[in-house]
A = this chain, B = another copy of it.
Amino acid sequence: MIQTPYLLFLGDAPDPLAAKVAQGIRDWRPEFAVGQFRMEGCKADMKLPDMSLAEAKAAGAKTLVIGVANRGGVISPAWKKVLIEALEEGFDLASGLHNLLRDEEDLAAVAKACGRTLHDVRVPSVKYPIANGEKRRGKRCLAVGTDCSVGKMYTALAMDREMRDRGLKSTFRATGQTGILITGDGVPLDAVIADFMAGSIEWLTPDNDEDHWDLIEGQGSLFHVSYSGVTMALVHGGQPDALVLCHEPTRAHMRGLPGYNLPSLPALRDLALELARVANPACEVIGISVNTQHLDDEEAVAYLARVEEEMGLPAVDPFRQGAGRLVDALVGKRSDLAA
């Protein structure tokens, strides 16, 4: 297990979205985050105390978590000096990047010399099966997005928190590094071998009580050409009974893909539902989760009302408003199924 609390390393994050790992920990396990470490040019800010390594150590931090991601998951040479100093100061390191801490010879050598641990949460630690498509007991809800980084993990975490607060049976199922760093387990789906992707999601969401819901973290987007295959494996491996559509209304184009427009919410609804019903003909879209962080209050309320009317489904921003209405819709669906 990774030792807590953490110092969140934001490095030279080129924009706030690049630090979504740190943001997730800060929002869902704030008790784990004693401070942040930022380098020159860092464009992200968790609104935590900026700390030197020595200050964080004095504040009790045990692990430096790399809370920032580069395209392709590279460990930047610019970070190396800090990471080595952290090991020498007595921190463990934890990372969800594709490029592994353990594969960096200098880090591995210093960690060994200092008796520290390198946690690469992106590396699958399980031999996943090939998906068999068999129907599993219990219910599953999957968040699907019009784009990457639109709030799919937040939505699932917020719904899980709301369901637990109501005494309902619910488990957040992490499929990415942030979720795994937050909850301590899950499937690092984008690091899984292609043939075993859907099987890894079947493994992650096994038979359960009939009234138990898995809230499955989504990845990528069916419309994002870089990662759509990963999303497809979630839709078919997860056998969702319910889908929540996730959207961020201010994007000019698909993340990292200039020239690719975002799909409309109806287009996402129709495609995701058609694909999901291959694995589970009873699947329904139960609501829409909008990330309104770039809209002011008035704009957000107006936008949500318009989407709700156009789509005929509850549309909420779970970060601003909580996930209550999404859970209402999910519980309503569950009652329908049981009736």
Contacts and interface: CB of A to CB of B under 8 A. Distances in A.
Interface string A43-82: 0000000000000000000000000000111000000000
Q: Please indicate which of the listed interface residues A190, A193, A194, A232 has the most CB atoms of chain B within 10 Å of its own CB.
A: A194
Q: How many copies does the complex hold?
A: 2
A130 interface: yes
A225 B229 contact: no
A228 B275 CA distance: 10
A192 interface: yes
Interface stretch (A10-18, A158-166, A195-203, A329-337): A195-203
A190 B198 contact: no
A142 to B, nearest CB: 14
A178 to B, nearest CB: 15
Contacts of A260: 133, 278
A229 B72 contact: no
B198 A191 contact: no
Contacts of A271: 274-275
A225 B197 contact: no
Given A72-B130, A130-B71, A257-B133, A194 B230 contact: yes
11 contacts: A72-B130, A98-B193, A133-B225, A133-B257, A190-B195, A192-B193, A225-B278, A229-B232, A232-B232, A271-B274, A271-B275
Q: Give 5 closest A-B pairs by Cβ, nearest first.
A: A229-B233, A225-B236, A190-B195, A229-B229, A229-B232
Interface of A: 71-73, 98, 129-133, 189-195, 197-199, 222-223, 225-233, 236-237, 254, 256-257, 259-260, 271, 274-275, 278-279
